[in-house]
Amino acid sequence: MADRKLRPLFQMRRTRDIIFDGLGLFVDRFRQLLKASWPAALIFGIVWSIMVNTNGQLQLSAAAMLHQGVQSGIGVDWAAFDIVLLVQTALLLLYAAASALIVSHDVELFRRHIADEPLPAAKWVGSWNWPLVWCTAKCMLWMLLIDVIVGVVSGGVVLLMLRMFSPMAAVAGTLFLALFVMLLMLPLYYTIMDYLTGSNNSFVRALKEGYPVGLHYYGKVFAVTITSGLLFLLLILITQTPSFILMTANQQALVGQMMGDEVAMPESMFWVSWLFPVFTGFIMAYLCLAMMMPYYYLYGHIVASQKNRKPEFENQIIDEKADTIHRP
């Protein structure tokens, strides 16, 4: 593993080596990454705890208001639903900001790894690279915009299928469409890495130039996504299952109290319900960072492959990728 970790980024690799080299980089630089990003990971854990505990209560409150309005015959208070929606939107924005904060440390690791520089230790807020945080946030906003556009178009297609076909056929068509859209978006991983590593300062230009390249290497992107995705999904499920069990227990206790049951959760469970997700969220932050590492080496593999396909750019492609890394 030690030899594998020292191999250069811009080098052609097999799928297995891409994943192993990515995990090797994470293990090799974990102490640096931990020292540099633990405040951001702690903030992510706190936000995750708020998300886990608050979202469930909001959904139960909305369901209770809907049930009460229907049963009483006085109608549903839609203004209260608007408040619930606003709170959930604010929570999602807070979660997105915390995600951009923690992911930006991975991006800084990538850029410093290319330049062969160590990560600086954290000094709380003062040491964070805020322009890099904003760069990461912009990438996430662009991806959200793409998701919204794809979602609107897909929703229109689903409505059209519901009008033209039977419900069962429409459901089958919707599942097929969802799978097709997910597969169609896989080449965006190269675009994201091309933008985040600083090789391309414009996301639109990175999308225009990078998507056809990612599409050309679709088999490699698909293999890395399936292999690493299943591995990290399993790890995240293992770490987050206790939090969701606690959330479900609290929801069941709250439902029981709403229906007149006097038995509630012990008082000590209140602190456990809020503090334990902070711990699991802290772990999940680093699992998400580790999940990005194989795509970093996949990016290096594609750049090296492009060099071999276009020998006329032999003295430009890799040198430009390494030399034009900007530090906003």
From the first residue on, what is the mean pLDDT of each consecutive set of 10 residues in the chain (328 residues)? 55 90 89 87 92 74 60 60 76 88 87 77 63 87 85 80 76 81 89 83 86 92 91 87 77 66 65 86 91 92 82 49 46
SS3 content of the chain, % helix, strand, coil (to 5): 80, 0, 20
Residue 71, Cα to own-chain centre: how many angstroms? 41
Amino acid identity for residue 303 in this structure: V
Residue 169 falls inside a structural domain: no
Residue 77 falls inside a structural domain: yes
Residues forming beta bridges with residue 125, ordered by sequence position: 123
The C-alpha atoms of residue 138 and residue 51 are separated, in whole angstroms, by 22
Please tell me what DSSP assigns to residue 202: -
- The answer to whether 122 and 37 are in contact (CB under 8 A) is yes
Residue 223 falls inside a structural domain: yes
What are the distances in angstroms from CA 4 to CA 15, 20, 22, 301? 14, 8, 10, 14
Helix (H) or strand (E) holding 80: helix 78-114
65 φ, ψ (degrees, to nearest 5): -65, -40
Cβ atoms < 10 Å from Cβ of 116: 7
Residue 99 falls inside a structural domain: yes
- Three-state secondary structure readout of 152-191: HHHHHHHHHHHHHCCHHHHHHHHHHHHHHHHHHCCCHHHH
Six-digit token string for 11: 């080098």
pLDDT of residue 127: 59
The C-alpha atoms of residue 102 and residue 121 are separated, in whole angstroms, by 14
- Its pTM stands at 0.80
Spatial CA neighbour of 284 closest among 98, 20, 9, 118: 98
What are the distances in angstroms from CA 54 to CA 49, 90, 274? 8, 12, 10
pLDDT of residue 60: 65
- The answer to whether 176 and 202 are in contact (CB under 8 A) is no
Residue 256, Cα to own-chain centre: how many angstroms? 35
Residue 166 falls inside a structural domain: no
What is the tens place of the pLDDT at every residue in 297-306?
A: 999 999 888 8
Residue 241 falls inside a structural domain: yes
Identify the domain containing residue 89 by its residue range.
2-129+217-318
Residue 245, Cα to own-chain centre: how many angstroms? 22
Residue 160 falls inside a structural domain: no
At 123 the three-state DSSP class reads strand
- The answer to whether 289 and 23 are in contact (CB under 8 A) is no
Surface-to-core class of residue 194, CB atoms within 10 Å of its CB (0-12 exposed, 13-18 middle, 19+ buried): buried
HSE-up of residue 294 (Cα within 13 Å, Cβ side):
24
- The answer to whether 325 and 114 are in contact (CB under 8 A) is yes
Residue 176 falls inside a structural domain: no
Q: How many domains does the chain have?
A: 1
